[in-house]
Amino acid sequence: MTQSEIDFFDNLAPTWDANEIRSTPERVRIILGKLPISKGMTVLDLGTGTGVLVPYLSEIVGPAGHVTAIDLSEGMLSIAKQKYGELKNVEFLKIDFEEEQIPGLYDVVMLYSVYPHLHAPADTMEWLFKMNIKPGGVIVIAFPSDEKFINNIHHERQSESDHLPPAHILADMINSWGFCASVVSATEDEYIIEVRYCN
Ligand SMILES: C[S@@+](CC[C@H](N)C(=O)[O-])C[C@H]1O[C@@H](n2cnc3c(N)ncnc32)[C@H](O)[C@@H]1O
């Protein structure tokens, strides 16, 4: 993550929750309900932001499970910690997940509204599978909208490099990098791809 990207998210942090209208509790629960997450699992929430997924993941994995929530924006992470710092099965780490080693082994890695911000998605996913994902584990690329909604936001912010293709095209692209990706859902309200290691 560049310093200007960190500054960008630090600036957005105080108003993030008020503006993040797509991640309603109902929609987040529906999306998470479609994923292979259950009691006792370990989940990594990369780019947790203000922690929109955190209370739901914490509840699903329960006291026997664990959630590690990572962000490099101090502005975002401090809000997440204020809101959910008391949750016993959650830890917050300030790490550049594309550059630094992440501690722990996980059943599920969430990239929720984060994928377009990756600089080197193929390398990052390869590294995650090698270092942090349990055998049979999965990386989930998800958004609480379709790609048109995401691309409109990025267009308004003049960040065209963050373009998100339709889910089936991104899944094909990820498969061409040697992973096993499949589309779980592609509707106006959900964009979900699961990625597994198939080599
Ligand atoms: C669009 S926000 C999404 C936040 C949250 N997942 C949500 O849906 O509200 C993307 C987040 O990813 C974080 N991020 C992007 N690249 C990162 C990296 N390489 N390391 C750590 N955090 C990163 C940003 O700081 C930002 O908080």
CATH code, domain with 53? 3.40.50.150
Using a 6 Å cutoff on CB, does residue 96 contact ligand 1? Answer: yes
For ligand 1, atom 6, the nearest C-alpha belongs to: 48
Low-confidence ranges of the chain (pLDDT < 50): none
Domain boundaries, position 9: 3-197
Q: What is the pLDDT of residue 162?
A: 79
What is the value of pTM for the model shown? 0.96
Beginning with the edge strand found earlier in the chain, give each strand of the sheet holding 133-143 in spatial order: 90-94, 66-71, 42-46, 106-112, 133-143, 191-197, 179-186
Distance CA(40)–CA(28), nearest Å, equals 20
- CB atoms < 10 A from the CB of 168, how many? 13
Distance CA(16)–CA(63), nearest Å, equals 28
Distance of CA 151 to the CA centre of its chain: 17
Using a 6 Å cutoff on CB, does residue 72 contact ligand 1? Answer: yes
**Eight-class DSSP state of 103:** P
Distance CA(31)–CA(175), nearest Å, equals 22
- Residue 53 exposed, middle or buried by CB count within 10 Å (0-12, 13-18, 19+): buried
Ligand 1 atom closest to 98 (CA)? 19
Q: What is the pLDDT of residue 157?
A: 66
Provide the number of structural domains found in the chain.
1
Distance CA(95)–CA(110), nearest Å, equals 15
For every residue of 77-93, which 3-state class applies, written as one string? HHHHHHHHCCCCCEEEE
